[in-house]
């Protein structure tokens, strides 16, 4: 232990001993810190209400007017691989083997016409992710397009008869077929701040009780039918506008960038993916 030697000299006139101890008090910001601490404790105790309010996003208009009516419909077309005409996909298989017809999926005209359970319990499932990278993507919402919606087509049935049956082509809008037209998304960006999502599609086949993956481009166009970048062909991009509560859909291409889809002229096309 080290002790410092201090020598004090006193005279007869000065009998006061002054010890210079500095005492500086800095209270700037102390009150503010206490208030912040109080607010945080109160927030934890009373379990405050977080804003998870959702709003309804509708499709961005793609044409100002047809007969005075602004066009806002979201248009989908689904194509099934017709194994009857091509028993197994080969290098020569072309796009004509994918048809917009439920019967290519193994259903009969009667199944579709009378909406038997094997058909009526089937549906299209749209999943929306934050990224196209399947290794770390997170699903944020799902929408269902039931087969009871959709356009019809005339087909022969029985002897010299023609009937109208449902086909996998949809024009979803404010009126008529509107299930899966709206996207319900968070109003506030406090918790999730995504300006776009990536939409994938599957078809639930009630006949076999399994989902079939769909792809945004027909495999018949591919030189290598099974070896292609999955991230490019399993998704469409959906942009969200937080100011107008509108969405629009784009086909995303590495070379040409974004091109809008979902209109009547350029529908959102999905094709059955034939997995080897």
Per-residue pLDDT reduced to its tens digit, 126-168: 999 999 998 899 999 999 999 999 999 999 998 889 999 999 9
Percent residues over pLDDT 70 in the chain: 84
Assess if residue 48 is contained within a domain.
Answer: no
CA distances from residue 268 to 159, 227, 253, 262 in whole angstroms, order as listed: 36, 23, 14, 5
CB-CB contact of 155 with 183 (8 Å): no
Question: CB-side exposure of 82: number of CA atoms within 13 Å?
Answer: 15
Which tokens hold the place of 175? Answer: 């009126």
Answer yes or no: pTM beyond 0.95: no
How crowded is the C-beta side of 172, counted as CA atoms within 13 Å? 24
How far apart CA 208 and CA 251 sit, in angstroms, is 31
Q: What is the share, in percent, of the chain residues with pLDDT greater than 90? A: 59
For the chain, the domain total comes to 1
Residue 212 lies in domain:
62-272
What pLDDT, in 10s, does the model give residues 221-252?
Answer: 888 888 888 888 999 999 999 999 999 999 99
> What are the tokens at 41?
């404790």
Distance CA 60, CA 71 (A): 9
pLDDT at 56 over 90: yes
Q: Is 14 domain-assigned? A: no
Q: What is the pLDDT of residue 61?
A: 96
In a domain, 30, yes or no: no
Question: For residues 213 and 275, is the Cβ–Cβ distance under 8 A?
Answer: yes
Q: Would you say residue 56 lies in a domain?
A: no
Determine how β-strand 54-59 pairs with β-strand 246-253.
Answer: parallel
Token representation of residue 11: 């005279």
40 inside domain = no
Q: 62 CB contacts (<8 Å, ≥6 apart)?
A: 71, 72, 248, 260, 262, 263
Residue 23 within a domain: no
More confident residue, 198 or 232: 198
H or E stretch at 28: none
Q: How far is residue 23's CA from residue 16's CA, in Å, rounded to a whole number?
A: 20
Band (pLDDT 50/70/90 cuts) for residue 33 is: confident
How many CB atoms are closer than 10 A to CB 244? 10
- Give the integer Cα–Cα distance in Å for 167 and 165: 7
**Per the domain annotation, does 15 fall within a domain?**
no
Is 261 inside any structural domain? yes
Q: Are 165 and 119 in contact, with CB atoms under 8 Å apart?
A: no
Decide: helix, strand or coil at residue 270: strand
The token pair at 123 is 């549906």
What DSSP state is assigned to residue 57?
E
């Amino acid at each position: 232990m080290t002790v410092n030697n201090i020598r004090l000299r006193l005279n007869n006139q000065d009998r006061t001993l002054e010890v210079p101890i500095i005492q500086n008090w800095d209270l700037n910001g102390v009150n503010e810190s206490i208030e912040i601490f109080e607010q945080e404790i109160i927030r934890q105790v009373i379990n405050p209400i977080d804003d998870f309010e959702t709003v309804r996003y509708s499709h961005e208009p793609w044409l100002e007017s047809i007969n005075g009516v602004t066009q806002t419909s979201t248009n989908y077309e689904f194509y099934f691989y017709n194994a009857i005409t091509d028993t197994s996909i080969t290098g020569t298989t072309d796009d004509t083997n994918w048809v917009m017809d439920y019967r290519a999926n193994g259903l009969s005209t009667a199944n579709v016409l009378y909406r038997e359970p094997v058909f009526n319990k089937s549906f299209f499932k749209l999943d929306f992710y934050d990224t196209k990278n399947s290794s770390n993507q997170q699903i944020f919402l799902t929408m269902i397009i039931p087969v009871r919606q959709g356009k019809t087509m005339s087909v022969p049935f029985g002897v010299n008869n023609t009937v109208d049956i449902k086909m996998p082509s949809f024009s979803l809008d404010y009126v008529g077929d509107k299930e899966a037209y709206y996207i319900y998304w968070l109003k506030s960006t406090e918790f999730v701040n995504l300006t776009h999502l990536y939409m994938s599609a599957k078809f639930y086949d009630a006949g076999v009780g399994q989902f079939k993956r769909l792809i945004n481009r027909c495999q018949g166009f591919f030189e290598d039918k099974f070896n292609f970048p999955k991230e490019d062909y399993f998704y469409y991009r959906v942009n969200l506008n937080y100011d107008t509560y509108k969405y629009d859909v784009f086909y995303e291409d590495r070379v040409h960038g974004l091109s809008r889809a979902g209109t009547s002229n350029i529908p959102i096309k999905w094709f059955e993916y034939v997995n080897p």
